[in-house]
Amino acid sequence: MSGEAPFTIEQFYRFVSEKKLMGAKCNECGKILLPPRPICPKCLSRNLSWVQLKNRGKLLTYTIIHVAPERFQSMAPYALGIIELEEGVRLLGVIQGVRHEDLRVGMSLEVDFDTNVPASPAWPPWPRYFFKLRRE
Ligand SMILES: [Zn+2]
């Protein structure tokens, strides 16, 4: 598809840096690919479009990270979770602002964007999004 940004994880992070949660949608079968890929794994079509996803989902599973990679160690212990977005796709991320003892599978979370991360010359940077409690 000419005119579309490439369907790569790097492009996904570029959208995140613009505070947009984007997935690739297959124009043939409707499947949403997250992380994006250049070919639909369901029907093998390359006819894809970027679509903006709603920033809302439910917590499917989580784990508390005590021993983190060195550059994240200052955050430890932190909660790493997988949420299922309303579109049915899953996203991995850090959960912020929720006490670990209050975490529950099935709880409503929303995706927010971290604007305090300095621009990094290395690409891709740490994903600048996180999950937080959804305020109804
Ligand atoms: Zn498809």
Calpha distance 30→48 (Å, rounded): 9
Q: Is the CB of residue 80 less than 8 Å from the CB of residue 114?
A: no
CA of 7 to the centre of ligand 1 (A): 14
Residue 48 alpha carbon to ligand 1 centre in Å: 8
Please write the tens of the pLDDT for every residue from 35-69.
999 999 999 999 999 999 999 999 999 999 999 88
Backbone angles phi, psi at 31, to 5 degrees: -65, 140
Bridge partners, residue 131, by sequence = 95, 111
Which residues are in the CB-under-5-Å shell of ion ligand 1? 26, 28-29, 31, 40, 42-43, 45
C-alpha angle 8-1-36 in degrees, rounded to nearest 5: 25
pLDDT of residue 120: 57
> Distance, CA 86 to ligand 1 centroid (Å)?
19
pLDDT tens digit sequence for 4-29: 899 998 899 889 988 999 999 999 99
- 85 close to 57: Cβ distance less than 8 angstroms: yes
Q: Give 27 Cα–ligand 1 centroid separation in angstroms.
A: 7
Chain CA centroid to CA 93, Å: 6
Q: Is the pLDDT of residue 71 over 80?
A: no
pLDDT at 17: 85
Residue 1: which pLDDT band, with cuts at 50, 70 and 90? Answer: very low
Task: With a cut of 70, say whether residue 89 has pLDDT above it.
Answer: yes
Domain ranges of the chain: 9-52, 56-133
Asked if residue 96 has pLDDT above 90, the reply is yes
Hey, what are 34's tokens? 């997250």
Which CA distances in Å does 133 have to 83, 102, 110, 125?
Answer: 12, 11, 6, 24
Structure-token pair, residue 46: 């390359």
Q: How far is the CA of 28 from the centre of ligand 1 (A)?
A: 5
For the chain, what is the radius of gyration of the CA atoms? 16
